[in-house]
Chain A
Amino acid sequence: MKREYPDSGTSSSGGAAPKGKHPASAPPSEEDVDELLAALGYKVRSSDMADVAQKLEQLEMAMEMGAAASTAPVSDDMAFFPETVHYNPSDLSTWLDSMLSELNTPPPPLPPPPMPPPPSVPSFAPAESSSVNFDPNPISQSDPSRERKRMRTGSGSGSCSSSSSSSLGRGGAGTTTIGSESIEPAPVATPGLPVVVVDPQEAGVRLVHALLACAEAVQQDNLKAADALVKQISLLASSQGGAMRKVATYFSEALARRIYRLRPPVGPISDPSTFDSFADLLHMHFYETCPYLKFAHFTANQAILEAFAGCKRVHVVDFGIKQGMQWPALLQALALRPGGPPSFRLTGVGPPQPDNSDALQQVGLKLAQFAHTIRVDFKYRGLVANSLADIEPYMLEDESGDGEPEAVAINSVCELHGLLARPGELDKVYHTVQKVKPKIFTVVEQEANHNSGSFLDRFTEALHYYSTMFDSLEGSNGSPTEPPSPGQPDHVMSELYLGRQIFNIVACEGPDRTERHETLAQWRRRFSQAGFDPVHLGSNAYKQASTLLALFAGGDGYRVEEKDGCLTLGWHTRSLIATSAWRVMAA
């Protein structure tokens, strides 16, 4: 970063040079400046300019001396405020005074200008090794200047300075946008429109562009540019609110991980497939706060119930039993069916536990207890498997084999996409299912293509998908029977649940990248090729789903749609999750 004033200030007649610069720079935009400044509470008259310049010089010299004394490297421009001062000398008059007095004495609290506090840039500070002197300083003016400066460093392409402005965003001053190109010559031509007022929508668009630009840079292996963009994204994201901010934060974090090759192997935060208690907790919170998983369970259950009509012995295989939340409802429905419940067997598949606890068995016990309460004959078997491809048909066989054969249903909720990470695994599973010959194979998957070969395509798709997801979390109030809790802690957990998926999609590759979602159409093709016929889900399932949504207060935005016998649940126009059912093709 060029430091103009110090360069000119090293000469003893420093006062002349800055002064000389001012008249050249001040006039054209002076009215604008004052207007803007006045709107923000700054009051600088042109007559003060010279004075300001002189103070600048003093400040500079004081800082240089301070730098020499401190351990901060002089070349680290970030540590010094005068850098930012260059762009807006017009607001310096009082600020400079205080700065100077600060340097000489312990900082007195500066009366903050009447503007809302700037966005939390401090997230930046550690990365940029900001000077310790000024951190505790509640001077808020410095932040926007600093931000703008950082934007300049960071931006290779376009968008910048919107974050500070949107926080300071006073509509009264009008929306003046300044692209980077106009700020470049600013120190000379214009002392700078010190504040850029951009409306949040525009900042949002810029944010998306920045995210996509960064993804493109990553795809092209241009890591330097990507790195700069990531920082820019963090800044832009902090200017947004609500869902957009959260989505952008997760995506930028994921991009950062990808850039810095921080791919934690198996950790609670990053690996969504780890079946540890933390993942369980997140999963349950997600189950509670939004209807997607409930939709999945209830529609699948309806299909299974219909497939089991008239059967006296039934066997359900759950490819990802987790906490077994799907099965109480099915057990109850079976208990209430005309003619009484069948004898019910459940095989729950789960990954091995890191702490050797037998979670599968515990889930089974709880379900058995439930079944006992409603008087359904219940048997349970837990299958520990690292991957679904490890399951062999004999493991699912009916050992008792007395009298009537079992009717089998296989259920997979968001478990199949993980198989795409390793070649051949899905085919193996298809093969096993074919051998078992279930009456029905219910499949629920995310309705999105997050598995394309191109990173940028994946990223773009994921960005849209998770933005919609986060919007729906934001928009829904959860179930009406829940009291609205301040701060909505459940949403935080659900967001983290989704965030982990984002990390996996963006930051991981190869066998680690397990969140390989594909669209319903893609799955349909796969199933047909593997020898399965679709089973239409029927109007009961549709009505159940509609009733479910009616129970959710935020049900306005949710949409259930029927697509060729499959049901999808989405937010407004975007489908987010799809349930389908299959049976083995008659030979």
Chain B
Amino acid sequence: MKRASSSSSSSSSSSSSSKKLKSEESPSPIPDLTEDLLYEVLRRADERTLGAAACVSSRWRRLAQDERIWESVCLRHWAALGCAPCQLRSVVMALGGFRKLYVSYLAPTVPTRSGRRRRWSRDELQMSLSMLSVGFFGMMGGPMGKFPPGKGI
């Protein structure tokens, strides 16, 4: 994870003084990036990094869980999109969002941690979307209530 570029750009003396300042005034070592900058950084990060970033602070979490970021995570991996991106977006957002799609249905298909930047085939995409639909349907209120209770699928 990238530390803020601001501290590295400053000279060593000022960095040490800023460190002193930091330890004096606030316990937070998180560099003070603007939201836009942070978003840009996270947008290029991989899934593991995003997961870690979401654990930093509530602000970081809000940004790391942004649907646009996860949409690009998912799209990045899909070899061929059968439909228009806006079409996909509206359906996926209605059914729970890209992050949920990734976490619940795409991530399990990645064999090991080392399988980064793996391109998913259309079938895997379609399967994960189907599962997302089924999961959403199951969680809808209805005669059987939510089924299965508490589970994702």
Stretch from A344-352, A513-521, A539-547, A562-570 that touches the partner? A539-547
Contact between chains at A481 and B153 (CB < 8 Å): yes
Contact between chains at A336 and B123 (CB < 8 Å): no
**Is residue B129 contacting chain A, with contact meaning CB distance below 8 A?**
yes
B126-153 CB contact bits vs A (8 Å, 1 = yes)? 1101111110111010111001100111
Q: What are the residues of chain B within 8 A of A277 when measuring CB–CB?
A: 144
Main secondary structure of the interface of B (DSSP, over half): helix
**Is residue A337 contacting chain B, with contact meaning CB distance below 8 A?**
yes
Q: Which of B82, B91, B94, B124 contacts A338 (CB 8 A)?
A: B82
How near does chain A come to B84, taking the closest CB pair, in angstroms? 8
How near does chain B come to A381, taking the closest CB pair, in angstroms? 18
Q: What are the residues of chain A within 8 A of B127 when measuring CB–CB?
A: 298, 544, 547-548, 551
Q: What are the residues of chain B within 8 A of A102 when measuring CB–CB?
A: none
A356-390 CB contact bits vs B (8 Å, 1 = yes)? 00010011011101100111000000000000000
Q: A366-B142, A366-B143 are in contact. Are A338 and B153 (CB under 8 A)?
A: no
Contact between chains at A363 and B143 (CB < 8 Å): yes
How near does chain B come to A430, taking the closest CB pair, in angstroms? 30
Q: What are the residues of chain A within 8 A of B148 when measuring CB–CB?
A: 284, 288, 490
**Is residue A325 contacting chain B, with contact meaning CB distance below 8 A?**
yes
CA A328 – CA B140 in complex, angstroms? 12
**Is residue A323 contacting chain B, with contact meaning CB distance below 8 A?**
yes
Q: A481-B108, A482-B153, A547-B124 are in contact. Are A331 and B133 (CB under 8 A)?
A: yes
Contact between chains at A298 and B151 (CB < 8 Å): no
Q: A280-B144, A288-B148, A481-B104 are in contact. Are A336 and B83 (CB under 8 A)?
A: yes
CA A284 – CA B142 in complex, angstroms? 14
Q: A333-B126, A336-B83 are in contact. Are A373 and B142 (CB under 8 A)?
A: no
**Is residue A340 contacting chain B, with contact meaning CB distance below 8 A?**
yes
How near does chain B come to A479, taking the closest CB pair, in angstroms? 6
In this complex, what residue of B is CB-closest to A544?
B123
Q: A363-B143, A547-B123 are in contact. Are A328 and B136 (CB under 8 A)?
A: yes
Q: What are the residues of chain A within 8 A of B136 when measuring CB–CB?
A: 328, 370, 373
Contact between chains at B152 and A481 (CB < 8 Å): yes
Q: What are the residues of chain A within 8 A of B13 when measuring CB–CB?
A: none
Q: What are the residues of chain B within 8 A of A551 when measuring CB–CB?
A: 105, 108-109, 127, 131
In this complex, what residue of B is CB-closest to A376?
B91
Of the four ranges (under 10, 10 to 19, 20 to 34, 35 or more), the interface on chain B belongs to 35 or more
**Is residue B10 contacting chain A, with contact meaning CB distance below 8 A?**
no
Q: What are the residues of chain B within 8 A of A324 when measuring CB–CB?
A: 137
CA A195 – CA B41 in complex, angstroms? 73
Contact between chains at B82 and A544 (CB < 8 Å): no
B58-100 CB contact bits vs A (8 Å, 1 = yes)? 0000000000000000000000001110011011001100000
**Is residue B121 contacting chain A, with contact meaning CB distance below 8 A?**
yes
Q: What are the residues of chain A within 8 A of B151 when measuring CB–CB?
A: 288, 481-482
CA A368 – CA B54 in complex, angstroms? 36
- Interface hub of A324, A328, A331, A333 (most chain B Cβ within 10 A): A328
Contact between chains at A544 and B126 (CB < 8 Å): yes
Contact between chains at A370 and B140 (CB < 8 Å): yes
Contact between chains at B142 and A329 (CB < 8 Å): no
The residues in A between 528 and 561 inclusive whose CB is less than 8 angstroms from any CB of B are 540, 543-544, 546-548, 550-551
Q: What are the residues of chain B within 8 A of A540 when measuring CB–CB?
A: 123
**Is residue A155 contacting chain B, with contact meaning CB distance below 8 A?**
no
**Is residue A332 contacting chain B, with contact meaning CB distance below 8 A?**
yes
How near does chain B come to A303, taking the closest CB pair, in angstroms? 14
Contact between chains at B95 and A373 (CB < 8 Å): yes
- Interface hub of B88, B137, B148 (most chain A Cβ within 10 A): B137
- Interface hub of A277, A298, A366, A373 (most chain B Cβ within 10 A): A373
How near does chain B come to A431, taking the closest CB pair, in angstroms? 33
How near does chain B come to A556, taking the closest CB pair, in angstroms? 13
Contact between chains at A323 and B152 (CB < 8 Å): no
CA A333 – CA B132 in complex, angstroms? 11
A292-308 CB contact bits vs B (8 Å, 1 = yes)? 00000010010000000
Contact between chains at B109 and A550 (CB < 8 Å): yes
CA A95 – CA B121 in complex, angstroms? 70
CA A161 – CA B109 in complex, angstroms? 48
CA A123 – CA B142 in complex, angstroms? 41
A228-247 CB contact bits vs B (8 Å, 1 = yes)? 00000000000000000000
In this complex, what residue of A is CB-closest to B141?
A366
**Is residue A480 contacting chain B, with contact meaning CB distance below 8 A?**
yes
In this complex, what residue of A is CB-closest to B108?
A480
CA A351 – CA B50 in complex, angstroms? 50
Contact between chains at A338 and B143 (CB < 8 Å): no
How near does chain B come to A356, taking the closest CB pair, in angstroms? 14
Q: What are the residues of chain B within 8 A of A281 when measuring CB–CB?
A: 144
Q: A328-B133, A374-B95, A540-B123 are in contact. Are A340 and B87 (CB under 8 A)?
A: yes
Q: What are the residues of chain B within 8 A of A362 when measuring CB–CB?
A: 142-143
Contact between chains at B137 and A328 (CB < 8 Å): yes
How near does chain A come to B59, taking the closest CB pair, in angstroms? 29
Contact between chains at B105 and A332 (CB < 8 Å): no
How near does chain A come to B89, taking the closest CB pair, in angstroms? 11
**Is residue A335 contacting chain B, with contact meaning CB distance below 8 A?**
yes
23 contacts between A and B (CB under 8 A): A288-B151, A324-B137, A325-B137, A329-B133, A332-B91, A332-B129, A332-B130, A336-B83, A338-B84, A362-B142, A366-B143, A367-B137, A369-B140, A370-B133, A370-B136, A373-B136, A374-B95, A375-B90, A543-B121, A544-B123, A544-B126, A546-B123, A548-B127
Give residues in B with beta carbon < 8 Å to A.
82-84, 87-88, 90-91, 94-95, 104-105, 108-109, 121, 123-124, 126-127, 129-134, 136-138, 140, 142-144, 147-148, 151-153
Q: A479-B108, A490-B148 are in contact. List 4 more A-B contacts (CB 8 A).
A: A328-B134, A374-B91, A481-B152, A546-B123
